[in-house]
Amino acid sequence: MDIDQSVDVVIPVYRPGKELEKLLYWLDKQTVSVRNVFIMHTREEEKLSLGASFRFHTVVEEISPQEYDHGGTRDRAMQKSTGKIIVCMTQDAVPENEYLIENLIRPLADEDIAVSYARQMPKTECKLLERYTRSFNYPAASRVKSSEDLDTLGIKTYFCSNVCAAYNREIYVKTGGFEKKTIFNEDMLYAAKCIRQGYKVAYAGDAKVIHSHNYTRRQQFSRNFDIAVSQKEHPEVFAGIKSEQEGIKMVKRGIRFLIRNHTPWMMVPFVLDSAAKYLGYLLGKNYKKLPLAIVKKCSMNPRYWQEKESV
């Protein structure tokens, strides 16, 4: 592989469980060695104790809940790295095998690619509808996206997930990195910024992590509310690019998926889930028209609004 393989990893951590142990275990066994792992631990009571030694060097920074920000916290850790490539992961994303890093960073051999993100595979306990969502957003086929895809892919051109994503550090620094204060979507905002500056985004379908959630309808509503807020707060990125088309496509394909799987009775919860997502998205797009008390109840991140209120 014709690429400088000095790789560091950044992981924001909050109330970690067994999955973090599995994640670190698999990072230690990668075919491409990781040099440093920067763990940003949002501390409530006890400090984080890893209780194991690894081939890579581990740096744990304790931060308060008030300090945490989706973009700012990751950027704070990434500024400490001197690696040519920085991989961002979440604490519940477990590598499927020892080839994750190797496959994830391979697209970065192209100097025009700013970021490469991994395929997310469902957990064993993942529900059928969430399995479909995983397959829709993370198909088997890899691809590279650029500004030339905006007419055909629309909002999907900017899609990127730092649940597991590798960043060309030189480009990251040059473009200004993540938004330092954002409610959500810092990974997609960064990908959009890079594409608008002439860089490309790669999806590495052969780089796999085990990661999924069985969100409640309420959680789906709030998550999509925050996604819409982040889009509304950045019209320089999202103005003129509609997300609704992608949602309609997912619903249509989802219905066909349920029919093919001989589970037509699942259409009712699927439609209700989709309605909750769309309602959250619609309200998020219009959050400025809502009372702040309602906005806080709709959002997954009420602290974000408290901070904005105090400014």
pLDDT tens digits, one per residue of 256-279: 888 888 888 888 988 999 999 999
Taking 50 as the threshold, does the pLDDT of residue 241 lie above it?
Answer: yes
What gap in Å lies between CA 127 and CA 218, rounded to an integer? 16
Task: Provide the pLDDT confidence category of residue 3 given band limits of 50, 70 and 90.
Answer: low
CA geometry: angle at 187 spanning 184 and 190, to 5°? 115
Confidence (pTM): 0.91
For 201, the token pair is 């985004």
What gap in Å lies between CA 60 and CA 284, rounded to an integer? 35
Mean pLDDT, range 196-222, rounded to an integer: 95
- Give percent above pLDDT 90 in the chain: 65
Burial track 131-150 (b if 16+ CB lie within 10 A, e otherwise): bbbbbeebeeebeebbeebb
pLDDT tens, position by position, 10-46: 999 998 888 999 999 999 999 999 999 999 998 876 7
Higher pLDDT, 176 or 1: 176
3-state secondary structure of 209: strand
Determine the length of the chain: 311
- Gyration radius (Cα) of the chain, Å: 19
